[in-house]
Structure 1
Amino acid sequence: MGDLMKKLSIILSAYNVSGYITKTIQSIANQTVHDFEVIAVDDHSTDDTLEILQAFEKKYAWLRVVCHAQNAGVSAARNTGLKLSHIEFVTFVDGDDWLEPNYVEYFMNIFQQHPDLDLVSCGFFIDTKNGKSKPQTEKKQLGLVDRDSAIKQIIKVSGSVMGYTWNKMYRRSVIEKNQLSFLTDLALMEDQLFNVEYATVARGFYLTDTPLYHYVSRKDSITKKFDMENAKNIGVATMRVYKTIHQNAKDEREEKEES
């Protein structure tokens, strides 16, 4: 398993999360397996986030910190991380969330057991302000699924899969070959769109509701602020998601007709 373990890049996006980032980094340091790199992209924070990250960078050889010259949003931060990473597997962590100790081990074990997989997903907890963790559950057994089932889970508004990037692990070769990136003109649902675009070109999916990621629900987060701009973003993102699914179905039909 040794060489497989050296194939993971964790892209950590951080913006003004000085009250959370220490717990995030410590949860990565506490992983049961350690052969990974972390690329932390500070999106031009105005608090102490960058200083905290740089202090950890001195302590941990696996941590590399880069800083945006101006605030560009979470999509741009993830894209920066993708450009700097050259490792076969990649996952994303938000700077105010944290991981269960066996998060990395779980993913690497699944990829080792099923070498033909392109996407693996785990479940997650939603952590409330008062420190309670509630696991998100799935009614039906998942495991190995086909593309249609995976996309249905990604676009669902509830459940243990959904459109997040932080409870999934991807193959870099699929991202690079298909020139996938996060759209920076969307403030919401950009991760769901990325997942749908990835799923339409990926082969082999493994989904589970085993909760290994802690999503920290913050009252001041962008998703909590509902305004017309957010409504527009959701509308545009949803349209692009369905356009991608429709195009994929059309391409598959044409492939079958040709063969």
Structure 2
Amino acid sequence: MDEKISIIVPVYNAEKTLYKCVESLVLQKYKNIEIILINDKSTDNSNKICEELADEYDFIKYIINEKNMGVSATRNRGLNNATGEYIVFVDSDDWVDYNYCEDLLSELKKNDVELVISGFWYHNDIKGLPPQKNIFGKEESIDIKSKNDVVELYSKWHFSALWNKIFIREIIEKNKIRFDENISIGEDMRFGIDYVNCMDKDKIVVINKSLYHYIHINPNSLWYKHMNQIEISIDSMEYLFNILDDDAKRDKNNIHLYNKNLLYSYLNYFDFIIKNKDLDNKTKKDKIDEILASNNYKACVNNCEFEDNEAKFKSMCLSKDYNSWIKIKRQYILKENIYNKLVKTKNFINKVKGRLNREKNNKVIKKASSKLKNDNFSIISQNCTGGVFYHDMGMKFLSPTINLHFKAGDFIKFVNNIENYLSQELDMRYGEFYPVGNLGDIEIYFNHYNTCEESIEKWNERKKRIKFDKLAVIMTDRDGFNQEIFDEFKKIKYPKLLFTGNENYKFEDSIYYDEFREEGSIGDILSNKKFYKDERLIDLVNKL
């Protein structure tokens, strides 16, 4: 595969996320790419970041709009300047997996199709929730779908956005497909619909891997600002449904999915109305009553299939007026408020516990610190234990193994040939959630770093500080640790210490924790400072 992929990235006030986004594209496994950054008159530091990136990489094109034109017009400018055989779209808030371009293009060519869709990770950074994986089918498999499956794809969040797809530019140009600059929501899906309608082959490949990281970071996004545009939402759903052939339009599942998604558009609009502080109560009531009485809304509800556990939800949707609707809605709001209060209470209790635990930990740290007689040594640590120790002791990091971890086998290789590995340059990429670096044949997981650039900078800065004449190695029996690695660990020439919960690994240079015996390996010894047990770590570094 040597065809070029054009990656179109609209940029507007993205200074906090832009570098990571572009870095994840620059470091793609697939190398024949051009990145087109189009700045829609940002008022923050985005312009400077774009200029620096374009100066550094000759495959980055940088375009600045003369005035703020909106995302549709901005993407159209990107299309007009693209030269690749294939097109992907990436939002400047987000970032992509190392295999994003390669996997999309590989499946497109291997299956001889004109559209490939991937799964994605959803990161709700507003609420701080754990990332959610969104795939269509069985993980690591592919699904073959057709134009008649677009409503199903949409219902599983696979058709509404652009960024999890690869398009063939020839189809786009031949059919003059562009974004509708007159609408501000749903333009992504309409572009996809127009493209599917122009495909010669009625086959769509869905990759059940999460190759894209969608970051929900902005509470004031267009989705929230324009929820009053219910007509556009309805038109977009009808636009989607019209892809289907006559038989598919009569399919009960398609009818149900279409109407259920349309119903959610109505309900989101109702939420927008009741939360709108610019409307008085009578206006809110009139607007919702008007829709509840409309034949289109009634048909939508009647064509939905509700699950057995959705009885109350169904009765709310079947409400004949605002008063009956808001009565049930308030029950949902009350339930949500109770839940939020319980969460707040739980968080408060956890804060109190955390404060008490910190006070307890501070006593442990103070005691350990009083025993420390050496402040000029390097700890080479398999994981965060070494970095936490340096931090607790208030010391400068005299080691590069900070805020990262190795698999057990790679760590042993690194320690036994440390000067050779440190002489090599890190080869970085983005892993599933954080940067990953290679030093020759070993991998390092920089799980507490935001970008690859930061990982390299800190690694190179700290490796210069290593005191090879005062060096200790610490390791845990996790991340692939086994008997063979244990035998190798015992041969390490430097002073060393193994933290273990396995009786088989007890020896003169290990600390055994009986409370983890059932698990067979060490558990959490950082948050409760258990790694200071028996003062063995302090004794180790004092002897260096």
Kindly provide the CA deviation profile for residues 15-73 of structure 1, in whole angstroms up to 9, marking residues without a partner as x: 11111101101111221121100111111111111211111111111111101111111
Any conservation in 1 of the 2:185–2:226 contact (CA below 8 Å)?
A: no
Once residues 113 and 171 of structure 2 are traced to their aligned partners in structure 1, the CA distance between those partners, rounded to angstroms, is 11
Kindly provide the CA deviation profile for residues 120-163 of structure 1, in whole angstroms up to 9, marking residues without a partner as x: 111111112137321113256752222212x224432x34x122
Whether 2:77 is the aligned partner of 1:80: answer yes
Within 5 Å, which residues of 2 pair with 1:1-259?
1=1, 3-4=2-3, 7-114=4-111, 116-129=112-125, 130=128, 132-139=130-137, 143-149=143-149, 151-156=150-155, 158-159=156-157, 161-202=158-199, 203=201, 204-218=203-217, 219-225=219-225, 227-228=227-228, 230-242=229-241, 244-245=242-243, 249=245
Query: TM-score of the superposition, structure 2-length normalised?
Result: 0.42
Displacement after TM superposition at 1:232 (Å): 3.4
**Cα pair distance change 1:226/1:84, threshold 3 Å:** closer
Bigger Cα Rg: 2
Give the counterpart letter for 2:123 in structure 1.
D
More strand by share: 1
Once residues 73 and 44 of structure 2 are traced to their aligned partners in structure 1, the CA distance between those partners, rounded to angstroms, is 19
Higher RCO (CA-CA < 8 Å; seq separation 6+): 1
More helix by share: 2
Once residues 35 and 238 of structure 2 are traced to their aligned partners in structure 1, the CA distance between those partners, rounded to angstroms, is 33
Any conservation in 2 of the 1:39–1:64 contact (CA below 8 Å)?
A: yes
Any conservation in 2 of the 1:186–1:237 contact (CA below 8 Å)?
A: no
**Cα pair distance change 1:132/1:30, threshold 3 Å:** farther
Once residues 112 and 142 of structure 1 are traced to their aligned partners in structure 2, the CA distance between those partners, rounded to angstroms, is 14
Structure 1 unmatched ranges of 5 or more: 251-259
Give the counterpart letter for 2:115 in structure 1.
L
Any conservation in 1 of the 2:24–2:95 contact (CA below 8 Å)?
A: yes
What is the RMSD of the two structures over their aligned residues, measured on CA atoms? 1.9
Any conservation in 2 of the 1:154–1:192 contact (CA below 8 Å)?
A: no
